[in-house]
């Protein structure tokens, strides 16, 4: 399983792939994650209109695609992601925005090669199937985050769909499943008790972290960088909990959390963290 691929502590997790060097949640970002020495990558899953599981973070399309200027694409702003089919979504260019915006200044600084830049134009939004097949080919463990499907509250079927895809791509052993929607974790634990699970916490911790994780059948804890500190990491790690804070982009913080016993760090800057370790 996921944790067996990664012995010890201090693993580098590529948040949405190597998203400071390539457009997030694309296969190019996954390739760069491997190239830069990530130990695992993180991706976001949403279910779209025809039931396909797509690797995409936002519930609207405008930030990371050319939807606003794509003449072949119909629809009304803000273009809700779940209202389109896979075929429609794959007409969009999910890469050129990165060249236009240089969101992390990595193009200007020369950290992105010209060969990589050429590959960005016309990148498609990947399906989860493509992403998992990539992980299998590279034996690259993957943290699959199921985004909360706000258009269908209470519907847990995306969990069943993710598990089916893991089975079809033979990647059950590579996946760590996480979500802010803890009902999804409960469903996965019911369906697949051996699938490693991680609880995402953004603003506050559960009252009793170890007790809460045990209740859900989770072994991983993914707190936001602003609510975690080395002392808490030490305590949780001593209880066998795999702590993977996100999204840690300050390398001094990353190193101090690793020294305290973090299993991994989910960062946008894989290449910088790799150089610090």
- CB of 42: closest distance to Ca ion in angstroms? 6
157-168 helix and 182-191 helix, angle to the nearest 10 degrees? 50
Q: Spell out the alpha helix ranges (H) of the chain.
A: 2-5, 27-35, 86-89, 96-101, 114-120, 128-138, 157-168, 182-191, 209-216, 230-238, 251-259, 270-276
Nearer to ligand G3P, 15 or 271 (CB): 15
Q: How many residues bind ligand G3P (CB under 6 A)?
A: 11
Kindly tell me which of 79 and 246 has the beta carbon lying closer to Ca ion. Answer: 246
Q: Between β-strands 40-47 and 53-55, what pairing exists: parallel, antiparallel or unpaired?
A: antiparallel
Nearer residue to ligand G3P within complex by CB, 46 or 124: 46
**How many whole angstroms separate alpha carbon 18 and alpha carbon 41?**
8
- Determine the 3-state secondary structure of 194 from DSSP: coil
11 is catalytic: no
Q: What's the full length of the chain, in residues?
A: 277
Please identify which residue in 2, 11, 12, 15 interacts with ligand G3P, judged by CB under 6 A.
15
CB of 209 to ligand G3P, least distance (A): 17
Q: Reply yes or no on whether 15 is catalytic.
A: yes
Residues 107-146 that bind ligand G3P (CB under 6 A): 145
Report yes or no: 174 and 142 within 8 Å, Cβ to Cβ.
Answer: yes
The smaller minimum CB distance to ligand G3P, of residues 40 and 246, is found at 246
Residues forming the site for Ca ion (CB under 5 A): 44, 145
Residues forming the site for ligand G3P (CB under 6 A): 15, 42, 44, 57, 145, 178, 200, 222, 246-247, 266
The set of catalytic residues is 15, 57
């Amino acid at each position: 399983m996921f944790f067996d691929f990664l012995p010890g502590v201090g693993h580098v997790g590529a948040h949405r792939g190597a998203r400071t060097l390539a457009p997030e949640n694309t296969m190019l970002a996954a390739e760069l994650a491997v190239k830069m020495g990530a130990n695992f990558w993180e991706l976001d899953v949403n279910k779209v209109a025809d039931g396909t599981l797509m690797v995409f973070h936002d519930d609207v399309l405008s930030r990371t695609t050319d939807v606003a200027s794509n003449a072949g694409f119909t629809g009304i702003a803000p273009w809700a992601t779940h209202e389109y089919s896979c075929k429609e979504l794959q007409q969009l260019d999910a890469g050129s925005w990165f060249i236009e915006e240089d969101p992390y200044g990595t193009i200007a600084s020369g950290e992105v090669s010209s060969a990589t830049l050429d590959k960005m134009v016309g990148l498609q939004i990947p399906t989860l199937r493509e992403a998992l097949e990539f992980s299998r080919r590279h034996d690259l463990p993957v943290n699959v985050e199921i985004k909360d499907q706000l258009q269908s509250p209470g519907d847990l079927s995306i969990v069943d769909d993710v598990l089916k895809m893991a089975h079809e791509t033979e990647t059950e052993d590579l996946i760590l499943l996480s979500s802010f929607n803890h009902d999804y974790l409960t469903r996965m634990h019911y369906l697949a008790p051996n699938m490693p699970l991680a609880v995402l916490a953004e603003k506050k911790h559960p009252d009793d972290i170890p007790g809460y994780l045990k209740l859900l059948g989770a072994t991983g804890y993914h707190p936001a960088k602003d609510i975690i500190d080395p002392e808490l990491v030490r305590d949780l790690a001593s209880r066998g909990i795999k702590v993977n804070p996100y999204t840690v982009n300050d390398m001094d913080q990353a190193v101090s959390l690793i020294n305290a016993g973090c299993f991994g760090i989910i960062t946008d800057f894989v290449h910088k963290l790799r150089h610090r370790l």
